[in-house]
Amino acid sequence: MVKDTSFGSRILDFIVHAVMVFVVLITLLPLLHVVSISFSNPDEIMRGRVGLWPADFNLDAYFTILFENAHIPRSFLNSVIITVIGTVLNVLFTTITAYSLSKRDLLFRPFFLMLSVLPMFFTGGIVPQFLLIKSLGMMDSVWALTVPVLISSWWLIIMISFFKNFPQELEEAAKLDGCGELQTLIRIVLPLSMAGVVTIALFYGVSHWNSYFSAMLYMRSYDNYPLQLILREIVLQSTMAEQLASQGNAALAEDMSTKLTPESVQYATLVVSIVPMLVIYPFIQKYFVKGIMIGSLKG
C-alpha cells in the first residue's frame, strides 16, 4: 500500500486524529470523574474539590458497598447469574433458529422468516406479557428475565445472513462423513462461526447486564433484584425527594433528602456495575471486530 504523503493528506490525518482525540476525551473524562469521585473522601466531594483525580484518596465507598450494604453484593451476583443464563440461552436459541432459517430449502421458510421478523415491529405490550409471565409461574425468577427475550429478531437476521455465507462445501463434506444436521451445526458450523456467535453473545450480555425494567416488573423479592435496579433506586432517591416536595409533601421530601446515599457510594456502585463489561471487552475484541463486519460486504 502506497502512503499518501501530500500536504492535503497530512492535514486530513491531523483533523481526523484531532477529532478522534476529542471524541476519546469527551467519552473518557466523565468516566474518569466518576471513578475519581468513588475513590474520594465524601467531605472533599461535598466541597466540590474532586476533578479527574481523587481528592483525599480512600476506599470507604467500596467498603460500604461490599461489606455494609447487603443488597449490592447480592444484586451483583444476581446480575451475573441473569447475564450468564440469559446469554447462554440467547446464543443457543438464536444460532439454532438462524441456522435452520438460513437453509434455502427449508419448508415454509418465508412464513417462518416473517414470523421471526414480526416482533421487530409489533410486540404484545407490557400488560399481556406481565399476565403471561405471572400465569406461567415465572414471577420472581430468572426465567422471567430471560425466556421472554430468548431470541432478538435483529440478531437472528444477522446470524441468518452469517450462516448463509458459510461455505456449503464444508457442510456437504461433513454430511458425507456421516454428520446429521445438528452435528454439522455443532461440530463444523459453530466452531467456524465464533466471530458472529461471540459478537451476538456480547450484545445479548450487555443488554442483560444493563436491563432493569423487566426486573422491576417481574421481581418481587429484593434479594432477587439485579444490580441495575438497585443502582436506579439509589440514583432516583434525590429525584424522588424533589418530586415529593413539588407535590407539597414537604415533610416526606425532607425526610427522604436527608437520607440520600452518599455521592461516593452512588459512584462506587456505578463503577462496580461498569467493570464487568469493561473487563470482558478485551478478551473478545478479536472476535468482535470480525463479527461486527458481518453483512457489511456482499458476495
Partner 1 sequence: MGKSNWKVTLLALVMVVAATGCSQANNGNANEPDQGTEPTADGGASGGDAAVKISVASMPKYPPNQIPNDYIKEVEKRFSMQWDFESIPLTAGIEKYNVMFASGDYPDFIPNMNGPTSVAKWASSGYLLPIGDYIDKLPNYRKLFSDEDWELLLSYGSTNGKLYMLPSVASSDPMTWIYRKDAFDKAGITAFPATMDELYETAKKLKETYPDSVPIGVRGGTENGGVKNLMNGFRQAFRNPQSSNTRGFWNDPDQGGKVVWNMASPKHRDMLAFIAKLYKDGLIEKEFATLTQDQWKAKRLTGKVLLDFQYASHTVDPGYALTDIPGGQWEYARTLPSASEQPALEFKPLNFSLFGPIFSSKLADEPEKLDRILEYVEWGATPEGQLFHQAGLENVTYVNEGGTLKYKDGLDRQKVAEQYGFDWWLSQSDDFLKSDAGYLKKQEAMKEFAANFNVTPKNAPLTEEEQETVNTTVSALEDVALQFATKAVMGMVDISSDEVWNGYLNDLEKVGLSQVQAIFEKYLK
Q: Which is nearer to partner 1, 28 or 120 (CB)?
A: 120
Q: Which 3-32 residues touch partner 1, going by CB under 8 A?
A: none
Task: Please identify, using beta-carbon distances, which residue of 248 and 282 lies nearer to partner 1.
Answer: 248
183-212 positions binding partner 1, by CB under 8 A = none
Helix 250-257 with 227-246: angle, nearest 10 deg: 140
Q: Which stretch binds partner 1 (CB under 8 A): 8-16, 56-64, 252-260, 270-278?
A: 252-260
State yes or no: residue 135 binds partner 1 (CB under 8 A): yes
In terms of CB distance, is 48 or 191 closer to partner 1? 48
Is residue 149 involved in binding partner 1 (CB under 8 A)?
A: yes
Asked whether position 276 contacts partner 1 by CB under 8 A, the answer is no
Least distance in angstroms from the C-beta of 123 to partner 1: 6
- Which range in 57-65, 80-88, 249-257, 274-282 contacts partner 1 by CB under 8 A? 249-257
State in angstroms the smallest separation of the CB of 190 from partner 1.
15
Decide: is 180 part of the binding site for partner 1 (CB under 8 A): yes
Q: Cα(63)–Cα(86) distance, rounded to whole angstroms?
A: 30
Q: Is 60 in the site for partner 1 (CB under 8 A)?
A: no
Backbone φ and ψ of 139, nearest 5°: -60, 145
Beta carbon nearer to partner 1, 92 or 192:
92
Cell numbers at residue 48, please? Answer: 466540590
Q: Which is nearer to partner 1, 109 or 290 (CB)?
A: 109
Does position 170 interact with partner 1 (CB under 8 A)? The reply is no
| 134 interacts with partner 1 by CB under 8 A | yes
Residue from 2, 26, 176, 251 binding partner 1 (CB under 8 A): 251
Give the count of beta carbons closer than 10 Å to the beta carbon of residue 31. Answer: 14
Q: Quick check: 45 binds partner 1 (CB under 8 A)?
A: yes
H/E/C letters for each residue in the chain? CCCCCCHHHHHHHHHHHHHHHHHHHHHHHHHHHHHHHHCCCHHHHHCCCCCCCCCCCCCHHHHHHHHHCCHHHHHHHHHHHHHHHHHHHHHHHHHHHHHHHCCCCCCCHHHHHHHHHHHHHCCCCHHHHHHHHHHCCCCCCHHHHHHHHCCCHHHHHHHHHHHHCCCHHHHHHHHHCCCCHHHHHHHHHCHHHHHHHHHHHHHHHHHHHHCCHHHHHHCCCHHHCCHHHHHHHHHHHHHHHHHHHHCCCHHHHHHHHCCCCCHHHHHHHHHHHHHHHHHHHHHHHHHHHHHHCCCCCCC
Q: Which is nearer to partner 1, 130 or 287 (by Cβ)?
A: 130
CA 226 to chain centre: 13
Three-class SS state of 60:
helix
Nearer to partner 1, 250 or 289 (CB): 250
Residue 126 binds partner 1 (CB under 8 A): yes
Nearer to partner 1, 203 or 288 (CB): 203
Give the binding range for partner 1 (CB under 8 A) out of 122-130, 197-205, 265-273, 289-297: 122-130
By CB under 8 A, tell whether 166 contacts partner 1: no
Is residue 58 part of the contact set for partner 1 (CB under 8 A)? no
